[in-house]
A and B are shown apart, each in its own frame.
Chain A
Amino acid sequence: MTASLTLYMLAASVLAGLGIYGVLIAGHLLRKLLALNLLGMAVLLMLITLGARGTGAPDPVTQAMVITGIIISISATSLALALLLALQRVTDETHLDAEPLPPVGEDGDAAGSR
């Protein structure tokens, strides 16, 4: 594996870490969604990098997988955005407050007073 590929892999890992962190920590649903997209992109970047590790032409299978992955990611994101809009319109909320475990470090009273 060449150095540049290692770099790509490293970048993908960092992105994945950031994405997972964001999903778990972010409160606003839009942020959560962006974080998920980040994670998705990390996985796809990883796949693309894998496709290029040989010496010859890039592996077509990973290309196909990545294209499919992008399409799925777009549909999931658009569905999530539509849901978010509907949620905001109906309840005027942009957070999922009724989480089973209220996030540590935030205002504990908000959860307690509900």
Chain B
Amino acid sequence: MQLAPAELLLSLVFAPLLAAIAAVMLGARAGRLLAVMVCLVLAIQLLFLGQRFSADGPFDLALAGIAPPLGIRLALDGLNLLLLWLVTLVYLGTSLHAWASIGAGARGTAFWPPWLLMLSALNGLLLSGDLFTMYIGLEIASLSGISLIALDRKADALRAAMRYLLLAMLGSLVYLLGVAVVYAITGALDFALAGSRLPGGAVTIAALLLMTGGLLLKSAIFPLHGWLPPAHGSAPPPESAVLSALLVKVSLYMLYRIWFWMEVPVAGLVSAGQLLAAMGAGALVYGSIAALRQQQLKYLVAYSTVAQLGYLMLVFALPGAWQGTIYHLLAHGLAKAAMFLAAGNMIWALGSDRLDRLPGLDRHIPASVFAFALAAVSLMGLPPSGGFTAKWLMLTAAWAAQAWVWVLLLLTGSLLTAAYLFRVFALTFAPRSPRRRAQPVRRPHPLMELSALALAMLAIGMGFSGTPLLDVLALPPQLLPGAAPGLPAPLHLTPGAP
């Protein structure tokens, strides 16, 4: 197979898109087969791309041969290569789970086409090199995601989906407004091009503010997180997994691209970055405490996402934490997907998602409880796991920059995480009350258990693969000419500056 990498880039977007269309026409049975096949094909393509990438360096492609600003440019660098891998692996795991838990019946008919459409949109977003294409990707991904939350037409899920949709529309319009302003003053949409032409001053600040605000809303960064727990808590498990692992992450990815690749010439970015980081700190504390108070398993996991997203904001105040942040993004993606799948299995087995129903469950579905535990190890940042490696990298960066507040937050954050996750285990180990003992436990399909376990193992495995992954991340970022390898250009954000 001698495909040019450029065509592979295209097929990352179009293969799932075609599969989505085929799923509409051929029905659910074909849809779920296509979903799994597409994930496997994507994995093979990424392997191939990764090889060419490390040999030839990054590459990009102007769609239909039309160069920006009119045309659309797809580009690959270390950062989005890693995220594409995350998308593919999480999608593979969750698709296998959905194979059994959603199936090929009536639910499947409504499930598989938007499911594949979302995959296509996520890939498109990650590959695109300009502000507007990212917007399209984000919109399609959000809309397909939202339609899946309401899959079962339950009142809670419908309300959650409605609220999410309204806020998502608001968020994207605000973002689009910002993009319009950028285009108005620069005549370009490409990060690098637009960034280099931005004049600074009030209009630039307004554009940055609008884009950032819209994306923060879509990423559910505290205090704009209100829509997330009901949406992630009431969706079907594979959908919750993808929402938490991928959808909130890609809007943060956009934020990173805007902040670190556009080289916005605005004074005061440092304090704005501090503000964003402070929001992250708030998310960490608030989300953890809220998770502690939940009585429903999936809501607990959803609030945990609110909390863990806080870590991803640290980099705005501390560019040295870039490696740790991206590592956390990847590890959290895998671990949280595994945790949502495992929680879904636990709820499936019990027929209820109330925490007080958990006692004795580990005897019935040990594999799922074990997957939950492994995912928890990574989320708590205990070694060896991807979560720990991320925490170590972030701590090292915070320590080197003498950002003591963050050192303290990183250390206590793990304790808070442990507090709410160990609560789940303590309940699982409690003896069942006699009244409950008679209740039947439904065994999940092996595929549902294995997919959760596999994703959790990957999260643990990330604890052993730090060097190769960080090497990929360090590959020269093509999207930003002239930046230091491996780090976004922290030109305006000096490490540790007050």
Contact, chains A and B (beta carbon distance below 8 A): yes
A: which residues have CB within 8 A of B? 16, 19-20, 23, 29, 32-33, 36, 39-40, 43, 46-47, 50, 59-62, 64-65, 68-69, 72, 75-76, 79-80, 83-84, 86-87, 90-91, 93, 96, 98, 100
Contact in complex: A90, B158 (CB < 8 Å):
yes
| Nearest Cβ on chain A to B174's Cβ, whole angstroms | 8
| Nearest Cβ on chain B to A28's Cβ, whole angstroms | 12
**Bound CA–CA A65/B131 (angstroms):** 11
Residues from chain B with Cβ under 8 Å of A36 in the complex = 166, 169-170, 173
Contact in complex: A90, B169 (CB < 8 Å):
no
Contact in complex: A96, B162 (CB < 8 Å):
yes
**Bound CA–CA A88/B136 (angstroms):** 29
With A39-B170, A72-B139 already in contact, 15 other A-B pairs whose C-beta atoms are closer than 8 Å = A23-B170, A59-B187, A60-B70, A61-B189, A68-B132, A72-B140, A76-B139, A79-B143, A79-B165, A80-B169, A83-B162, A87-B155, A87-B158, A91-B159, A100-B226
Residues from chain A with Cβ under 8 Å of B226 in the complex = 100
B143: contacting residue among A16, A75, A87, CB under 8 A: A75
| Nearest Cβ on chain B to A14's Cβ, whole angstroms | 14
| Nearest Cβ on chain A to B215's Cβ, whole angstroms | 15
Residues from chain A with Cβ under 8 Å of B139 in the complex = 72, 76
A and B contact pairs by CB, cutoff 8 A, 30 listed: A16-B177, A23-B166, A23-B170, A29-B162, A36-B166, A39-B170, A39-B173, A40-B169, A40-B173, A43-B173, A43-B176, A47-B180, A50-B180, A61-B69, A61-B70, A64-B70, A68-B136, A69-B176, A72-B136, A76-B169, A80-B165, A80-B166, A83-B150, A83-B162, A84-B162, A90-B153, A90-B158, A91-B158, A91-B159, A100-B226
Task: Tell me the residues in window 154-182 of chain B with beta carbons closer than 8 Å to chain A beta carbons.
Answer: 154-155, 158-159, 161-163, 165-166, 169-170, 173, 176-177, 180
**Bound CA–CA A80/B159 (angstroms):** 11
Category for how many chain B residues contact A: 20 to 34
B132: contacting residue among A65, A87, A93, CB under 8 A: A65
Residues from chain A with Cβ under 8 Å of B184 in the complex = 50
| Nearest Cβ on chain A to B202's Cβ, whole angstroms | 15
Contact in complex: A87, B162 (CB < 8 Å):
yes
Chain B binding surface, main DSSP class: helix
Contact in complex: B158, A47 (CB < 8 Å):
no
**Bound CA–CA A100/B154 (angstroms):** 20
Residues from chain B with Cβ under 8 Å of A83 in the complex = 146, 150, 158, 161-162, 165
Residues from chain A with Cβ under 8 Å of B161 in the complex = 83
**Bound CA–CA A101/B263 (angstroms):** 38
Residues from chain A with Cβ under 8 Å of B478 in the complex = none
In the complex, the number of residue pairs spanning A and B with C-beta atoms less than 8 Å apart equals 85
Residues from chain B with Cβ under 8 Å of A50 in the complex = 180, 183-184
**Bound CA–CA A64/B69 (angstroms):** 11
Residues from chain B with Cβ under 8 Å of A59 in the complex = 187
Interface core residue of A20, A36, A72 (most chain B CB under 10 Å): A72
Interface core residue of B143, B173, B176, B226 (most chain A CB under 10 Å): B173
B: which residues have CB within 8 A of A? 69-70, 132, 136, 139-140, 143, 146-147, 150, 153-155, 158-159, 161-163, 165-166, 169-170, 173, 176-177, 180, 183-184, 187, 189, 226
Chain A binding surface, main DSSP class: helix
| Nearest Cβ on chain B to A108's Cβ, whole angstroms | 20
Contact in complex: A91, B162 (CB < 8 Å):
no
Residues from chain A with Cβ under 8 Å of B162 in the complex = 29, 80, 83-84, 87, 96
Contact in complex: A43, B180 (CB < 8 Å):
yes
Residues from chain B with Cβ under 8 Å of A29 in the complex = 162, 166
| Nearest Cβ on chain B to A18's Cβ, whole angstroms | 13
| Nearest Cβ on chain A to B211's Cβ, whole angstroms | 13
Residues from chain A with Cβ under 8 Å of B180 in the complex = 43, 46-47, 50
**Bound CA–CA A83/B155 (angstroms):** 11
Contact in complex: A90, B155 (CB < 8 Å):
yes
| Nearest Cβ on chain A to B273's Cβ, whole angstroms | 26
**Bound CA–CA A105/B357 (angstroms):** 41
Residues from chain A with Cβ under 8 Å of B146 in the complex = 79, 83
Residues from chain B with Cβ under 8 Å of A84 in the complex = 162
Contact in complex: A76, B143 (CB < 8 Å):
yes
Contact in complex: A46, B177 (CB < 8 Å):
yes
Residues from chain A with Cβ under 8 Å of B187 in the complex = 59
| Nearest Cβ on chain B to A97's Cβ, whole angstroms | 9
Contact in complex: B177, A96 (CB < 8 Å):
no
